[in-house]
Amino acid sequence: MKISVIGCGYLGAVHASAMAELGHEVVGIDVDEEKIGQLRAGKAPFFEPGLTEVLSSALASGRLTFTTDIAHAAGAQVHFVAVGTPQARDSQAADLSYVDAAVTSLLPHLGAGDLVVGKSTVPVGTAARLAGVVAEHAPDAMLAWNPEFLREGFAVRDTIDPDRLVYGVADDRATAMLDEVYAQTISNGTPRVVTDYATAELVKVAANAFLATKISFINAMAEIAEVTGADVTQLADAIGHDTRIGRRFLNAGVGFGGGCLPKDIRAFVARAEELGRGESVAFLKEVDAINMRRRDRVADLAIEALGGSPFGHKVAVLGVTFKPHSDDVRDSPALDVAVRLKGLGADVVVTDPEGLDNARGRHPQLLYTEMTEEALRFADLAVLVTEWPEYTALDPKAVAGLMRTPRIIDARNVLDPAAWREAGFAYSGLGRN
């Protein structure tokens, strides 16, 4: 099929490349000239494992092109809208201006029978509103909502081989067109749920709200473990053996961040309140509060470890992205902790395999190094905040030899406390005895 993908960020760049890889003829469109220049040159504008390979192969096939000119969407039959919906500057709600602008700019280029497919995460009710906009300006075109569930770090795999496909449609022709787009994925056995707009929109936010709730649940247990001497990691293992509960997303630590979970639960609460059903998801405010308290907890542990005052002490922050295998520092708990400790007067040195440029752009006041050893050398405290494999594999004896004082806060509960204590470390985890 001929496909356009509007928005070439973390979602759209992967989607465009993956669709071309699946055999479609794809044009990726973005207003950011620098990003489009990089993509055209086969260079992923952000770190995502496997993206460079799929991008190069799709470009070489001749089936993938990139442009800043929305007029090149003309001729495609399916138009994916994959722009961001960040938190609004002045409220907890989602900022829909990019989605609205993308759809509006597309309208003059829509042909009869074209399908506009929303991929962005939006408040329930958006698809119905945009379907009205499309119907008014291009009466022969259709709209569908097809939420995306990819995880950063696994985005290529999740796009080509997702857990499920969800179509929010108002027309059987839209379903048939999406089936053609995803023919290969469907033939691989991926389940597909065909539903209305509102359900499709809600599936996405409900899934992220559930994941956020699961993380905050275990972090709440960590808070209780901290005052009782229990160990939250063993607790998670034990309850996780119950297949109804499951062990995944029960890793207690500094909590969730990124461009999705935090803003999605806030936007969900804001939308529910608009709908007069705020009480139904009021618990998500507590989920958010528990999550933010974990960052306070890590900062408090650091202050405590440094004898009450971090001033003048060197602190090595290991990891700055919101999770490993990504360069994304949006709402990163690690960056937040680093900034807080810097604000308390510590000499904070941040290291990370992929996230330094993004972090430096946001917080130039911090010191950054690519070398883990350099961050740790003569440090009074190390804080492991993002569980990159290179940090979880660190040898405690070697680290002890580098630091001025062997103290570590394991803010992701990924280290073996016994091994670190044996190497002379004052070790603290979160919710771990």
What string of DSSP letters covers 51-119? HHHHHHHHHHHT-EEEES-GGGGTT-SEEEE----PBPTTSSSB--HHHHHHHHHHGGGPPTT-EEEE-
Task: Pick the closer one to ligand UGA by CB: 261 or 317.
Answer: 261
Nearest distance from C-beta of residue 340 to ligand UGA, angstroms: 17
22-30, 100-108, 132-140, 150-158 -> range binding ligand UGA (CB under 6 A): 150-158
Interaction of residue 18 with ligand UGA, rule CB under 6 A = no
Among 17, 65, 85, 121, interactor with ligand UGA by CB under 6 A? 121
Closest residue by Cα to residue 168 from 201, 133, 134, 135? 201
Distance, CA of 400 to CA of 373 (rounded, Å): 11
Task: Pick the closer one to ligand UGA by CB: 131 or 265.
Answer: 265
Nearest distance from C-beta of residue 253 to ligand UGA, angstroms: 5
Catalytic residue, chosen from 27, 260, 298, 318, is 260
Active site residue 260: yes
Among 65, 216, 251, 428, interactor with ligand UGA by CB under 6 A? 251
Task: Pick the closer one to ligand UGA by CB: 39 or 215.
Answer: 215
Closest residue by Cα to residue 381 from 355, 399, 357? 399
Bridge partner residues of 11 (DSSP):
none
Phi and psi torsions of 142, nearest 5°: -125, 165
Q: How many residues does the chain have?
A: 433
Among 8, 82, 102, 150, interactor with ligand UGA by CB under 6 A? 150
Nearest distance from C-beta of residue 328 to ligand UGA, angstroms: 8
Site for ligand UGA in 209-248 (CB under 6 A): 211, 215
| DSSP code of residue 278 | G
Among 9, 45, 162, 255, interactor with ligand UGA by CB under 6 A? 255
Interaction of residue 261 with ligand UGA, rule CB under 6 A = yes
| Beta pairing class for 25-29 and 2-6 | parallel
144-152, 170-178, 344-352, 397-405 -> range binding ligand UGA (CB under 6 A): 144-152
Among 45, 258, 355, 431, interactor with ligand UGA by CB under 6 A? 258
Site for ligand UGA in 195-214 (CB under 6 A): 208, 211
27-35, 99-107, 135-143, 258-266 -> range binding ligand UGA (CB under 6 A): 258-266
Number of residues located near ligand UGA, criterion CB under 6 A: 21
Interaction of residue 253 with ligand UGA, rule CB under 6 A = yes
CB 28 within 8 A of CB 64: yes
Nearest distance from C-beta of residue 311 to ligand UGA, angstroms: 29
Among 46, 80, 256, 368, interactor with ligand UGA by CB under 6 A? 256
For residues 164-202, b (16+ Cβ closer than 10 Å) or e, as one string?
ebbbbbbeeebbebbeebbeebeeeeeeeebeebeebbb
Closest residue by Cα to residue 215 from 229, 201, 231, 236? 236
Among 271, 323, 325, 407, interactor with ligand UGA by CB under 6 A? 323
Interaction of residue 266 with ligand UGA, rule CB under 6 A = no
Interaction of residue 257 with ligand UGA, rule CB under 6 A = yes
Among 152, 201, 288, 354, interactor with ligand UGA by CB under 6 A? 152
Nearest distance from C-beta of residue 322 to ligand UGA, angstroms: 4
Nearest distance from C-beta of residue 257 to ligand UGA, angstroms: 4
| Beta pairing class for 25-29 and 64-67 | parallel
Task: Pick the closer one to ligand UGA by CB: 149 or 283.
Answer: 149
Closest residue by Cα to residue 14 from 40, 46, 60? 46
Matching residue, tokens 């494999």: 389
Interaction of residue 82 with ligand UGA, rule CB under 6 A = no
Measured between alpha carbons, how far apart are the two ends of the chain, in Å?
Answer: 57
What are the Cα distances from residue 415, in Å, to 51, 311, 372, 393, 421? 30, 27, 16, 8, 11
Distance, CA of 220 to CA of 109 (rounded, Å): 51
1-9, 38-46, 254-262, 360-368 -> range binding ligand UGA (CB under 6 A): 254-262
What does the block give as tokens for 37?
Answer: 């220049």
Positions in the binding site for ligand UGA (CB under 6 A) = 121, 148-152, 208, 211, 215, 249-251, 253, 255-258, 260-261, 322-323
- For the annotated catalytic residues, the residue numbers are 260
